Amino acid sequence: MRLTLKDVEINKILQVLRKEYDVALQHFMNIADRYKIPYTINNGISIYE
State how far the Cα of 37 lies from the Cα of 23, in Å rounded to an integer. 19
Could you read off the pLDDT of 6-44 as tens digits, one per residue?
A: 888 988 999 999 999 889 989 999 999 999 988 777 666
| Cβ(38)–Cβ(47) below 8 Å | yes
State how far the Cα of 47 lies from the Cα of 15, in Å rounded to an integer. 28
Q: So what's the pLDDT on residue 16?
A: 93
Nearest residue to 37 (alpha-carbon basis) of 24, 48, 45: 48
Is the overall model pTM greater than 0.75, yes or no?
Answer: no
Higher pLDDT, 46 or 24: 24
Task: Please check the confidence at residue 49 and state whether its pLDDT lies above 60.
Answer: no
| DSSP H or E segment with residue 46 | strand 46-47
